[in-house]
Copies of this chain bind each other. A is one copy, B any other.
Amino acid sequence: MEYIFADRMGKVQASAIREILKFTSEPGVISLAAGNPAPEAFPIDAVRQITEKILTENPILSLQYSITEGYPKLRETLKTYLKTKKGLGQDFDDLITTSGAQQAIDLATRIFCQKGDTILCEAPTFVGSLNGFKASEANVVGIPMEEDGISIEALEKALQTNKNVKFLYVIPNFQNPSGITMSLAKRKSVYELAKKYGIMILEDNPYGELRFSGEDIPCIKSLDTDGLVIYCGSFSKVLSPGLRVGYVLAPAPVIGKMVVLKQTNDVHTGIMAQIICEQFMNEYDFEAHIASLRKIYRKKAQLMLDCFEPYFDPAVTHTVPDGGLFIWCTLPDHINMMSFCQRAVQEYKVAVVPGSAFMVRESDPTQSFRINFSTPTDEQILRGMELLGKLTKA
Q: A interface vs B, CB < 8 Å?
A: 1, 3-9, 12-15, 18, 36-37, 39, 42, 44, 47-48, 51-52, 55-56, 59-60, 62-68, 99-100, 102-103, 106, 110-114, 117, 128, 131-132, 135, 166, 198, 200, 226-228, 236, 240-244, 251, 253-254, 257, 259-261, 263-273
**Interchain CB contact under 8 A, A5 and B51:** no
**Interchain CB contact under 8 A, A3 and B254:** yes
**Given A113-B6, A114-B8, A273-B272, are A106 and B263 neighbors across the interface (CB < 8 Å)?**
no
Given contacts A5-B257, A6-B111, A51-B55, 4 further A-B pairs with CB under 8 A are A9-B257, A12-B264, A65-B242, A100-B266
* A244 vs B100: C-alpha distance when bound (angstroms): 13
- Nearest CB in chain B: distance from A109 CB, A: 9
Interface centre among A52, A110, A251, A270 (most CB of B within 10 A): A270
Chain B residues within 8 Å of A14, by CB: 259-260, 263
**Interchain CB contact under 8 A, B267 and A270:** no
**Given A60-B39, A64-B39, are A5 and B112 neighbors across the interface (CB < 8 Å)?**
yes
- Nearest CB in chain B: distance from A256 CB, A: 8
**Given A1-B226, A64-B37, A106-B266, are A260 and B13 neighbors across the interface (CB < 8 Å)?**
yes
**Interchain CB contact under 8 A, B39 and A44:** no
**Given A65-B242, A251-B1, are A135 and B261 neighbors across the interface (CB < 8 Å)?**
yes
Interface centre among A3, A14, A48, A52 (most CB of B within 10 A): A3
A-B contact pairs, 9 of them (CB 8 A): A5-B257, A18-B68, A39-B64, A65-B241, A99-B266, A102-B264, A106-B264, A243-B272, A270-B270
